[in-house]
Amino acid sequence: MKNRVFRFAGMALLPSALLFPLAAQDAKTTPESGKQEQGITREQADQILQELRQIRQLLEKQQGKAAGPPPPARAQINISGMDMLGSKTAPITVVEFTDYQCPFCQRFHTTVFGDLQKQYIDTGKIRFFSRDLPLDSIHPNAMRAAMAAHCASEQGQFWTLRDLMGKHPDKLDMDSLVSEAASLHMNTDNFRTCVESNKYREAVQTSVMEALKFGIQGTPSFVIGKSTPEGVDGEVMEGALPLPEFVKVFSKLE
C-alpha cells in the first residue's frame, strides 16, 4: 500500500498518511523471520484508511447540507526573520506555503507569480513571503529543496534559487541543486554542506506544523490579508489560483 496524494482544484493535498501516522505505515516483513517489523498490520492499516474515508465522506455530506459555504479560514502569521519581496510598508501581505516538487506550485510559479510580482509586489502594493510545506511522503526531493532554499538565503540567494526550483521541480536532486548554486555564483561547498547537514530541517518542520495549525493541507496555499506590525492577519486560500482571484481579495482589503 503506497501513500497517495489527493489532487483537487489545482492543488496537491497532504495524504491521510501524514495526518494519521499509524495508517501511513505499511507492515513490513523480514525475509529471515517472516515477522512484521511494525506494530500495525497491513490489514489494520487498510481498516484505518477505510474508516478515514468514511469519516471524510460523512463530513462532506454534512458540509453539503449546510445553509451556505463555510466562512474562510483565517490565520495570523509572524513573519520576523523571513525573506521578503516587496516593500516593508506595503499594506497587504501574501504568505505562500509551497512544495518545490509540487506540479501545482510550478503552475502558480510559471503562470501567475510573474504578473503578481510585476503588478503588485514591485509597485509596493503587497509584500510577499514564502513558507515551506514539503509533502515529502509523496515528493521525495521536496524536503531537500526546502532546506536548500534556506541555505541559499545564507548567501543572499533565496529568491533566485526559489525561482529556479519553482520552474524546474524535476531538478531537485543534490547534484542539480549544487549546479544551480554554481550558476548563481554561490559558494557551492558551503551550500552542499549546509543542505546535507539538515541544518534547516527543524525550521522546515516548524513551518509545516504551522500550516497544519491553520488547517492548510495542500500546496500551494496562501494567507492573504492586511499587513500587521508582526506579519499578517488574513484569509487562507488554497490552490494554484489565477491572478484575478488574487485581485478580488486585494480589492476587498484596499
76-113 tens-digit pLDDT: 999 988 999 999 999 999 999 999 999 999 999 999 99
**pLDDT number for residue 24:** 40
pLDDT of residue 137: 86
Q: 195 and 86, same structural domain?
A: yes
In a domain, 1, yes or no: no
Please, what's the b/e burial string for 156-188 (b: 16 or more CB within 10 A of its CB; e: otherwise)? Answer: ebbbbbbbbbbeebebbeeebbbebbeebebeb
- Structural domain that includes position 41: 6-64
Residues 44 and 81 in one domain: no
Encode pLDDT of 190-244 as tens digits. Answer: 999 999 999 999 999 999 999 999 989 889 999 999 999 999 999 999 999 999 9
Are both 51 and 94 inside the same structural domain?
no
Is 162 a member of any domain?
yes
- 34 plus 105 within the same structural domain: no
Nine-digit cell string for 54: 468514511
- Pick the more confident residue, 108 or 9: 108
Q: Where among 64, 93, 110 does a domain terminate?
A: 64
C-alpha cell at 138: 509523496
For residues 81 and 50, state if they share a domain.
no
The pLDDT, as a whole number, for residue 50 is 65
One domain for residues 13 and 113: no
Is 212 found in the same domain as 180?
yes
- Shared-domain flag, residues 59 and 85: no
Q: What is the reported pLDDT for 254?
A: 83
What is the tally of structural domains in the chain? Answer: 2
Domain assignment present for residue 53? The answer is yes
Torsion-angle region of residue 235: left (phi > 0), alpha (psi -120 to 50) or beta?
beta
CATH number at residue 90: 3.40.30.10
203 or 51, which is more confident: 203
What is the C-alpha separation between 99 and 58, in angstroms, rounded?
29
Angle between helices 201-213 and 142-154 (to 10 degrees): 110
